[in-house]
Amino acid sequence: MYQFINTVLIGITSGAIYSLMAIALVLVWRSTRVVNFAQAGMALLSTYIGYECIQRFHSFWLALFIAMIAGAGIAAAVDSVFMRTLFRRVSHGPIAGVAPIIATLGLLGLIRAGLGLFVGNADVSIRPPVSNIGYTISGHTLAFSPLKLVIVSSAMTLMLALSLLFSKTNIGLSLRASAFSPEIARLAGVKVDRVRTLGWAIAGAAGAAAGILQTPNGTGALSPDSLDFSLLLVFGFIAAVIGGLDSLLGAVLGGLLLGLVLAFVLTYISGSLVFITAFVLLIIVLLVRPQGIIGMNRGRRA
Amino acid sequence: MHKIKSTNFTRLLFFIVLGVGLFLLGNRVDELRVYQGATLAMYVIAISSIILLTGYSGQVSLGHGAMLAIGGYAAALAHEHLGLPIWICFSIAVLAAAAAGAVLGTAAARLSGPYLAGTTLALAVGLPSIANQFPILGGEQGLLFDVGAPPARLGADFTQYKWYFWIAALAALIAIWWLQNILRSRYGRMWRAVRGNEVAAELAGIHIGKSKTLAFTVSSGLAGLAGGVLAMTISTVSPSAFPLSLSFSLLTGAVLAGVSTLSGVIIGALTLVATPEIADAISRRLGNSENVTTNLPGLLVSALLILVVLLVPNGPVEQWRKFRARSLHEVTHR
């Protein structure tokens, strides 16, 4: 019984992080129709900035805040400088359809190698802000610790803030309008290009938060070629696809579902099957329900 | 200018002449160059597999390194456990990767652009960790793949690397020759039609899904061959031989080659072979700090990828053709 509760709590914690990453991917996909594989690189860069802040100011919360601002700035710069140039220059030819994918992947490699060049490839560690020793309930020690509570509640708070932004504010309305139909939104007076960059910025902040929260949730170690960030990207992508790639709610649910499934596999079957399970889950969703768990029945389009 | 009509026979002749040329060249250069020649042949096969996939069928795979890994492991397993001759090992590498490609391709055919890209990326990220978990795959150390010393009748001064180079070059020549033929067959036309316009191709009676699955299968098979050759040149397969950066490099090579021009493949392969050397020269000049030596090759490859996509998206060969066509046009219309 305790093991079951443990597993659920662990699953929700890592699921919340996957959700944040999935949200970042979905936001960019909705506004630009690009799966931003560079998101892992941007998150990595922001996490390093956050790490520097922790070293200087000894405050995890300040670091999270600064990293999110930095992530937003990086993403906005990537969209307004890099992606816009790309779309202007590569509009036809056999590569036009795949150029954005290749370019974001190139950016991921560039950020990782560039970061390694400056800070080196040795592991640094992010000290968790609170204890990572599990709560004890009537003699049983749970795997759920104050740290995990902090992680899961910050992720949930951010998602709540995002959903309020999208449903209650004018900015959210123009973001949704631009994603739904850029042409009509432009006619209605929305500055679509600027809104698009804003969408990227929010995505960058969400990705940065995922990166900063993910690091102490795992081993606490951080390095430019860490597998954790590649996995974060892959799991975020799988979560986004489970949710239909087009829906923020879907991304959140997809992340939690993925987190729970992986936690159960880890606890009850074997740690070596975690990645295979995630991959099989991705293939099954793509084959059986390509529109995602809550998507409308529209079929896939690129 | 009289243009030689390209027939099956002249093309075969061309490849035979090329092979003899490579053979003579291989006898004249030093050991390092011979080793690089073998690597070059591996890159030629791997890049052409991506060109087939991206340029001819419009799909993109970010994780072809995973297909190379499957081929490499299959060849090593066949060699270690069954003791089969080297050529059969390579054939098994092709078949194993093609089978994996067929499974993935069936899913992929229903996916467009980003979905396939993400799925293949996931595979490339996860495959090394999978290899770590099954004892038969040798864990972190991997498996040995020793194709054996060159036959004694080739002479005493025939080095091991020269033998690798011969095998790799022959594999590359056969692969490219075969690929050229298939691209000129009805399958090649079918893939180009699907890439050009899916709806029109479907109306012309082409089954889109089957066409894409076939392209993915053939491409994976070629990648498997490249994996076998790679495993041979480093005489081992291990998770670290197929890092994510390998997939990045291959994609860079393909983009440099110009994804739709098979003839550019040598440019891509040469660049990939030259990059570590250039990086090495630069980092020596910068004082060999560890940060620079580890990261500079990756930095160069990624920067190159981005620059080519931005500046010459269809590859330098295509760009040159366009440039020449334009200047010819200007000359004749003056």
Q: Are strands A221-222 and A140-141 parallel, antiparallel or unpaired?
A: unpaired
Query: What's the rounded Cα separation, in Å, for the pair A88 and A86?
Result: 5
pLDDT at B214 over 50: yes
Q: Is A90 close to B60, i.e. CB distance below 8 A?
A: no
Question: Among A30-34, B129-133, B170-174, B271-275, which is the least confidently predicted range?
Answer: B129-133
**pLDDT (0 to 100) of residue A132:** 74
Is residue B102 a part of any domain in this protein? Answer: yes
Cβ neighbors of A200 (< 8 A, separation 6 or more) are A27, A28, A31, A32, A75, A76, A78, A79, A83
Question: Would an 8 Å CB–CB cutoff place A34 in contact with chain B?
Answer: yes
Is residue B9 a part of any domain in this protein? Answer: no
Task: Out of B55, B291, B313, name the one closest to residue A117 (CB).
Answer: B291
Is residue B37 a part of any domain in this protein? Answer: yes
Nearest to A16 by CA among A258, A265, A264, A238: A258
Mean pLDDT in residue range B254-273: 82
Is residue B11 a part of any domain in this protein? Answer: no
Amino acid at A63: A
Query: What's the rounded Cα separation, in Å, for the pair A212 and A61?
Result: 10
Q: B243 to chain A nearest CA, in Å?
A: 11
Kindly list the residues from chain B whose CB atom is less than 8 angstroms away from the CB atom of residue A44.
none
Give the pair of three-digit tokens for residue A47: 């996490």
Question: Would an 8 Å CB–CB cutoff place A62 in contact with chain B?
Answer: no
Kindly list the residues from chain A whose CB atom is less than 8 angstroms away from the CB atom of residue B295.
113-114, 116-117, 121, 224
Mean pLDDT in residue range A62-91: 89
Amino acid at A168: K
Q: Is A286 close to B248, i.e. CB distance below 8 A?
A: no
Can you state the angle between helices B265-285 and B290-311, rounded to 10 degrees?
140
Domain A2-288: give its CATH architecture: Orthogonal Bundle (1.10)
Q: What is the 8-class DSSP label of residue A141?
A: E
Mean pLDDT, chain A, rounded, equals: 85
Kindly provide the ipTM of the predicted complex, given to two decimals. 0.84
Measured CA distances, A250 to A9, A177, A262, A278, A292 (Å): 20, 18, 18, 17, 8
Is residue B158 within 8 Å of B31, Cβ to Cβ?
A: no
Nearest to B195 by CA among B259, B121, B250, B253: B259
Q: B223 to chain A nearest CA, in Å?
A: 19
Provide the residue range defining the domain that includes B212: 31-148+159-332
Is residue B20 a part of any domain in this protein? Answer: no
Task: Out of A90, A105, A110, name the one closest to residue B313 (CB).
Answer: A90
Q: Which range is most confident: A57-61, B66-70, B135-139?
A: B66-70
Q: Is B298 close to A99, i.e. CB distance below 8 A?
A: no
Q: Is B309 close to A278, i.e. CB distance below 8 A?
A: no
Question: Would an 8 Å CB–CB cutoff place A238 in contact with chain B?
Answer: yes
Q: Is B119 close to A102, i.e. CB distance below 8 A?
A: no
Secondary structure of residue B164 in the 3-state scheme: helix
Among A18, A98, A234, pick the best mutation site for testing chain B contact (most B Cβ within 10 A). Answer: A98
Query: Phi first, then psi: what are they for A141, rounded to 5°?
Result: -90, 120
Kindly list the residues from chain B whose CB atom is less than 8 angstroms away from the CB atom of residue A286.
107, 110-111, 115, 119
Q: B296 to chain A nearest CA, in Å?
A: 7
CATH number (domain holding residue B264): 1.10.3470
Q: Is A102 close to B60, i.e. CB distance below 8 A?
A: yes
Mean pLDDT in residue range B68-91: 87
Question: Would an 8 Å CB–CB cutoff place A287 in contact with chain B?
Answer: yes
Can you state the angle between helices A170-180 and A192-217, rounded to 10 degrees?
100
**pLDDT (0 to 100) of residue A47:** 92
Is residue B243 a part of any domain in this protein? Answer: yes
Mean pLDDT in residue range B257-267: 78
Is residue B10 a part of any domain in this protein? Answer: no
Higher pLDDT, A44 or B5: A44
pLDDT at A302 over 90: no
- Overall domain count for chain B: 1
A270-279 residues labelled b (16+ CB within 10 A) or e (exposed): eeeebbebbb
